[in-house]
Amino acid sequence: MSRKKPGRKTVLVYVEGPSDQTALVHAFETMYDSKSIHIEVLYGDLTSKRSVNPQNIVKKLGNKVSVFREKYSLKPEDIEKIICILDTDGAYCDERFIQERPGLHNFRYTEDCILANSKEAAADRNRRKAENMNRLAGLRKVTQNRKVIPFEAYFMSCNLDHVLQNKLNLSDAEKEKGAYEFADKCSQNRAYCESFFSDPSIAVVGSLDETWKFIRVDNRSLQRYTNLINCFDAGEDIDN
């Protein structure tokens, strides 16, 4: 979806899936209008993988950045900033917000609780994912060849589809359809992007530390929130 070959001063954005890339590319291109935006897909949730922990997640992210740079023959200084957008998936909820439903194959989400085949498995996933998200939320730089690249992590709660479409538990086809619809609305439409992401019903405004502290409380990581407007505000500062 990122159509141009990355060049100097690229803003590198990592998202979890292809529909996320589709949905957000025009918003980023519109809000960072003087920058080269490149959105890379992680093809999965890095923060919930069993092989990932707070001790190795930064290295695994750095490896992905290295592969990206090698693919396009970029130096570390060619990357202006790295942004990672994470779905919270209710990971900060404690066990009282998890309801066991035998027979479910996948987690299902409401704005009040997580439904899961095993309450124990869901709690274990939450613990692992929350610890990894906390590590990325507090990260401010990625080092490549002894060069420092600024890093910021933002959240979509409960997930990107929830924020952009106000719907949960969508099929892949529904995600893709909604992603294209949202992308069309954002294309070269700064007013729409600003209005949508600054809407008080979803926008969590403040420093990165403040917004991540907000989403960790009670069951907010299941509810419809995002702090992405702060990312776009920072982009305007860079452009100016």
| Residue 108 placed within a domain | no
CA–CA distance, 33 with 38 (Å, rounded to integer): 12
| Residue 170 placed within a domain | yes
Which positions ≥6 away from 17 have C-beta within 8 Å? Answer: 41, 42, 43, 44, 175
| Residue 120 placed within a domain | no
Residue 117 · residue 105 · CB < 8 Å: yes
Which positions ≥6 away from 53 have C-beta within 8 Å? Answer: 128, 131, 132
Q: Residue 239: its pLDDT value, please?
A: 47
| Residue 220 placed within a domain | yes
Total residues found in the chain within this entry: 240
Containing 68, the helix (H) or strand (E) segment is helix 57-72
Q: Residue 4: its pLDDT value, please?
A: 57
> For the chain, how many structural domains are there in total?
1
In which residue ranges of the chain is pLDDT below 70?
A: 1-5, 7-8, 33-34, 234-240
| Residue 32 placed within a domain | yes
Residue 34 belongs to what domain range? Answer: 10-91+126-239
| Residue 105 placed within a domain | no
Q: Each residue of 154-190: pLDDT tens digit? A: 999 999 999 999 999 999 999 999 999 999 999 999 9
Q: Residue 236: its pLDDT value, please?
A: 56
| Residue 179 placed within a domain | yes
Taking CA atoms, 185 is separated from 147, 179, 180, in Å, by 37, 10, 9
In this structure, the number of other CB atoms found within 10 A of the CB of residue 200 comes to: 7
Which positions ≥6 away from 126 have C-beta within 8 Å? Answer: 90, 91, 92, 93, 94, 98, 114
| Residue 116 placed within a domain | no
